[in-house]
Amino acid sequence: MIILIVVVFGVLGFVVSNRLKSKFKKYSQTPLQANLSGKEVAELMLADNNISNVSVNCVEGQLSDHYNPANRTVNLSPDVYYGRNAAATAVAAHECGHAIQHATAYTWLEMRSAMVPIQNASGKILNIVLIASLLGGFFIGLPYEIIGFIVVGAYGIMTLFTLVTLPVEFDASRRALAWVNQRNIVTRSEYAMSKDALKWAAMTYVVAALASLATLAYYIFIFFGNRD
């Protein structure tokens, strides 16, 4: 069953990721009528929201764009940083959406940030359990039920993290699309491109959350489903 879950969601994740890259490539080929780069879009959106303590940087990689709340930086991949198209505009504005969430203490982002160390610890616990089981020393002397509580508890926290991430990502996209539309950064057709690009970006998080839920359900069944 676990192999089936991995295969199904692995394939689904691969399809969504390829679709996202295809959309980004397609929308990158149409020059933005406003002729603004992703960097310029990000700086303008931050300024419009009175955020002056966030810098916009260029980082290596493809679709490696992210906002770092620790050092308050919007980090854009070269294609987005220098790009002057609807795809670059959408991604740059989306990452600034996270900066705005941070500045306004958006509840879901605050919750997600608070969960980061707990989520990391849960991942380490699961790795220890996996290594111990592979070495044949599956916590000798520890009751099976306790092992179950450890695994399900740790994976439950990781699953909760993926679920909390969803409203954070959807809200950032909502803020981005509202701003580029109200600021007349994009035309009607460019807005449609931006919206479609962000939709497929959001789908990667949806697939991750569903995969995590399915795996959690599997572990619950394995440890607590056959107790009769």
- Give me the active site residues, please: 95
> Do the Cβ atoms of 157 and 83 come closer than 8 Å?
no
Long-range contact list for 178-182, CB < 8 A, 24+ apart? Answer: 179/45, 179/48, 179/93, 179/96, 179/97, 180/41, 180/89, 180/90, 180/93
Query: Is-contact 35 25, C-beta < 8 A?
Result: no
**Alpha carbons 152 and 133: distance in angstroms, whole number:** 15
